[in-house]
Amino acid sequence: MTSFEAALNGEIGAEELRAAFWFHLGGQSFPKARLARTLWLRGFVQRGLQSAMATLEEAQARNHKFSMCLALTEAVCPLHLMAGNLSEASRCIAMLDELAEGSIFGGFAHYLRGSLLVKSGNHAEGLRVLRAARDHSGRLTGKEGRTSIIIDFTTPQGSGFLLNFAEALVGIGDVAAAIALIDTEISQARLEGLLWHVPELLRLKGEVLAGQKHDTAALDAEQCLLEAIEISKQQGALYWQLRAATTLLRLQVKPNKGKDARALLAAVCEDYAGEPTFLDLETARALLNGSPRTTTR
């Protein structure tokens, strides 16, 4: 049983009550939203999306704004972004923006809007909006200690936010700032044990390093990508494996220890058999088939 399922069943001991505080805000919306997110990362595409939408629909049926904002912030909007459903993501972010007016979720709406812009290729405007989200949070990202148990996914101090911030920096060509931010966030995430996005941070770093000119760039990129794949395997995060293995093959970085990038990616794609397709999976399969559609967002 996962921690999220335990929260949904009410099976949380007294020693866990403090950590469980956020699970009780908005009823069961928070653990249900996190469960949806976890299902997606583990490769259960249909169950993840269905769980996210069910969480939102239940909140709407109760007309509970806080729960609706939680569902949109923690599951519905992020999953549409990861699936590449940008038009639907835009619609849901607009819904969140309207619901969040005057509440703490305003910063989340700004963050998600910035992420949408980055995913759409508008890196400069996305960076501007992400900075506004950071400012809205009232904290300087990377400068203050982080203590909240909920920050690792979508808040403007969490690694998901900083990941998109780094993507925007890469997009505008500020590679040095992006790598510095990634390195800082990986160290901080490991220190705090908040490792949700570490494989993707490593993947992005590997992608950036592969384009550098120095002598060890290819080797450094390879090490980042292989580490991303290894950590995602340990996490059971098939989605992060898919993205890292796609980048490994797309960049034609030859893996060490006899591993074959094509075989790695083919195995991950096979694990998605029977699941609905989505943008990253289509990209990976096209790459395996020799199609020019090889862009990893």
> What digits encode the pLDDT tens for the residues 4-46?
455 455 554 444 444 444 444 546 788 899 899 999 999 999 9
Rounded Cα–Cα distance for residues 265 and 283 (Å): 11
Residue at 1 is within a domain = yes
For residues 275 and 233, membership in a common domain is answered with: yes
Question: With 70 as the cut, is the pLDDT of residue 155 above it?
Answer: no
Number of domains in the chain: 3
For residues 108 and 86, membership in a common domain is answered with: no
Residue at 40 is within a domain = yes
For residues 246 and 159, membership in a common domain is answered with: no
Residue at 131 is within a domain = yes
For residues 125 and 218, membership in a common domain is answered with: no
pLDDT of residue 152: 45
Residue at 147 is within a domain = no
For residues 87 and 127, membership in a common domain is answered with: no
Least confident of 91-95, 107-111, 201-205, 268-272: 107-111
The reported pTM is 0.84
pLDDT of residue 52: 97
For residues 164 and 228, membership in a common domain is answered with: no
Question: With 90 as the cut, is the pLDDT of residue 190 above it?
Answer: no
For residues 132 and 223, membership in a common domain is answered with: no
Residue at 142 is within a domain = no
From residue 248, alpha-carbon distances to 146, 221, 242 in Å are 32, 9, 10
Residue at 269 is within a domain = yes
Least confident of 75-84, 96-105, 277-286: 96-105
Residue at 148 is within a domain = no
For residues 72 and 126, membership in a common domain is answered with: no
Please, are residues 296 and 283 in contact by the beta-carbon 8 Å criterion?
yes
Q: pLDDT of 211-265, one tens digit each?
A: 898 889 899 999 999 999 999 999 999 999 999 999 999 987 555 544 589 999 9
For residues 213 and 297, membership in a common domain is answered with: yes
For residues 75 and 121, membership in a common domain is answered with: no
For residues 1 and 56, membership in a common domain is answered with: yes
* More confident: 139 or 233: 233
pLDDT of residue 150: 37
From residue 278, alpha-carbon distances to 78, 86, 242 in Å are 14, 11, 12
For residues 202 and 297, membership in a common domain is answered with: yes
Rounded Cα–Cα distance for residues 275 and 87 (Å): 21
Domain range for residue 7? 1-99
Find how far residue 104's CA is from the centre of its chain. 21
Residue at 59 is within a domain = yes
pLDDT of residue 119: 96
